[in-house]
Amino acid sequence: MKKSLLRKYAKLAVRSGVNVQKGQILVINAEANAYEFVRLCTEEAYKAKAKKVVVNFSDEEVTHQTYLHCSKETLSEFPDYIYQQRKYYQDQGCCFLSIISSTPGLMSDVDVEKVAAYRKVASKKMEPLRKYTMNNIGQWCIVSLPTVAWAKMVFPQLSDKKALEALWKAVLDAVMVNDSTNPVKVWKDHSAKLKRYCDILNDYHFDKLHFTNSLGTDLYVQLVKKHIWVGGSSISEKKVEFNPNMP
């Protein structure tokens, strides 16, 4: 992957994704294999005058081994420091950038009861903090980085190298990153366009939608009363615009 495109993607994630503000803490959660991209995101965040960048690395291979060899009882223990760390940064009004770079199917040989046990205790413990992102109290964003394993699932007919190149192109096309454009401006214009469309749809107050096509589709979808069309960017409690999912 060209360093110039990777840097553009990092800038987009930081400036348009979480839209870190001057004096704000950025918390990055990422797989260890995404370290180069994390470094670029960190650099872009400090250029945006972030107060501090906190990086939490994980490694899916280590996680895989943990699930294979730890007991269900051990996996049912959830350390309080994880909760306290997140609460500490949320109390300071941080924003979260999650970088997904995983291997599909890696956990297929893991006992599902072990996974369920950990997820259950983690979900219960972290529930009080989840509304920070789910209610858009603070900004958050999820971006994806291709891996060879993921690329081979999408493009099985290609070599590892060609498949990875093809998936990178698909991801960058989806987030509108290329050599000739300023993706931050492109996404700003894109969000404004989606907002205009939502405003138009809301002004119509449709009762139902009617879908037809040349293949014979003739479908009516009844809409609930006082429905609201939304899409594109979100707004945090402090009126900061951000894009939660890219793409």
- pLDDT by residue for the chain (247 residues), tens only, comes to 889 999 999 999 999 999 999 999 999 999 999 999 999 999 999 999 999 999 999 999 999 999 999 999 999 999 999 999 999 999 999 999 999 998 888 999 999 999 999 999 999 999 999 999 999 999 999 999 999 999 999 999 999 999 999 999 999 999 999 999 899 999 999 999 999 999 999 999 999 999 999 999 999 999 999 999 998 899 999 999 999 988 7
Identity of the amino acid at 231: G
Give the distance, in angstroms, between the CA of residue 43 and the centroid of all CA atoms in the same chain.
19
Q: Retrieve residue 178's tokens.
A: 């290329």
From the CB of residue 87, how many other CB atoms can be counted at a distance below 10 Å? 14
CA distance 226 to 207: 10
Per-residue DSSP letter, 77: -
Q: Retrieve residue 6's tokens.
A: 């990777």
The strand pair at 208-212 and 218-222 is best described as antiparallel
Which residues are within 8 A (CB) of 16 and not within 5 positions of it... i.e. 6 or more apart? 183, 184, 187, 188, 242, 243, 246
**What pLDDT score was predicted for residue 1?**
80
Tracing tokens 């007919």 back to the chain, one arrives at 157
Residue 111's Cβ-side half-sphere holds a number of Cα atoms within 13 Å equal to 13
What torsion, rounded to 10 degrees, do the Cα atoms 148, 149, 155, 156 define? Answer: 120
CA distance 138 to 131: 9
Q: Which residues of 136-152 are buried (b: 16+ CB within 10 A; e: fewer)?
A: bebbbbbbbbbbebbbb
**What pLDDT score was predicted for residue 92?**
97
Q: Which residues of 228-240 are buried (b: 16+ CB within 10 A; e: fewer)?
A: eeeebbbebeeeb
The strand pair at 52-58 and 245-246 is best described as unpaired
pTM: 0.90
**Per-state percent for the chain, helix, strand, coil, to nearest 5:** 50, 15, 35
**What pLDDT score was predicted for residue 104?**
87
Tracing tokens 């470094």 back to the chain, one arrives at 39
* Phi, psi (rounded to 5 degrees) for 48: -85, 10
